[in-house]
């Protein structure tokens, strides 16, 4: 059984939050994850704004029913006003750009409506779990489905590439185990745009490995923060969105090659 306190305070340091995003970023590039904890965040983009808005629309559909075409634009505007106004302001988005985003989100929504929704229980499920040692696991799962066989966690993707989302799904399986003392029967990253699905069936071994990996990450990040040192830099296609790209030779070289 996975212990409810997954982290022993081996290093010490200031409290901080661990999300699935921080974990996946650390596995891609430890120094980028450290940069995020130090307050370096990448600039927003219209693509990321579109993804956030699409997720709000998907959740509205699941919780309140189908959104008629004649009120779709207004529903998007209400979602922005409630949750995404700051994102839109930071982007300085024009009316024409916003209308273009709404059209793209509506096209995604038409595909979303064709997906099977049997067993839906809850959308945008937030979690805040004390991991021990001043560390909290925080985040949100897109959707929970359940039937007599068990619970399934779904993460909607608005892009076309899902094969690199295994760590995120393993993180969610670990959180579910810690919260409910049971494994989900499956975790899925599903591209609404293409229908591609990354399907994971977690077990105790994968959860324990994730617990160990998350603990090792926390130790490394806390040690670096305390010592004012850096961590390994690993270049890849994700470098183009890195908030510390301007000060990273490895990342700059990777972006130039790509």
Give the Å distances, CA to CA, from 137 to 18, 33, 164: 5, 15, 21
Rounded distance, CA 258 to CA 255, Å? 5
As a whole number, mean pLDDT of residues 202-220 equals 93
As a whole number, mean pLDDT of residues 89-110 equals 95
As a whole number, mean pLDDT of residues 185-212 equals 94
149 class by beta-carbon count within 10 Å (0-12 exposed, 13-18 middle, 19+ buried): exposed
As a whole number, mean pLDDT of residues 182-195 equals 95
Confidence class for position 4, pLDDT limits 50, 70, 90? very low
Q: Which of 17-31, 50-64, 153-167 has the lowest mean pLDDT?
A: 153-167
What integer pLDDT is reported at residue 33 of this predicted model? 94
As a whole number, mean pLDDT of residues 13-22 equals 90
Provide the whole-model pTM: 0.91
Average pLDDT of the chain to the nearest whole number: 90
């Amino acid at each position: 059984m996975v212990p409810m306190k997954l982290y022993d305070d081996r290093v010490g340091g200031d409290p901080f939050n661990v999300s699935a995003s921080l974990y996946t970023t650390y596995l891609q590039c430890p120094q980028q994850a450290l940069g995020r904890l130090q307050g370096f965040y990448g600039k927003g983009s219209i693509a990321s704004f579109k993804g956030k808005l699409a997720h709000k629309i998907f959740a509205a559909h699941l919780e309140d029913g189908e959104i008629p075409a004649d009120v779709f634009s207004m529903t998007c505007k209400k979602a922005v006003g409630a949750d995404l106004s700051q994102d839109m302001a930071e982007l300085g988005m024009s009316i024409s750009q916003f209308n273009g985003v709404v059209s793209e989100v509506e096209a995604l929504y038409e595909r979303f409506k064709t997906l099977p929704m049997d067993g839906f229980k809850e959308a945008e499920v937030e979690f805040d779990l004390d991991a021990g040692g001043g560390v909290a696991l925080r985040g949100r799962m897109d959707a929970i489905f359940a039937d007599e066989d068990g619970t399934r966690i779904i993460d909607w993707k608005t892009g076309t590439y899902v094969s690199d989302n295994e760590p995120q799904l393993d993180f969610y399986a670990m959180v579910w185990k810690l919260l409910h003392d049971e494994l989900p029967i499956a975790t899925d990253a599903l591209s609404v745009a293409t229908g591609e699905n990354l399907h994971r069936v977690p077990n105790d071994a994968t959860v324990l490995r994730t617990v160990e990996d998350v603990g090792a990450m926390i130790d490394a990040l806390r040690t670096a923060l305390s010592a004012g040192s850096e961590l390994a830099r690993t270049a890849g296609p994700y470098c183009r969105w890195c908030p510390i790209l301007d000060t990273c030779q490895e990342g700059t070289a990777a972006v130039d090659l790509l």
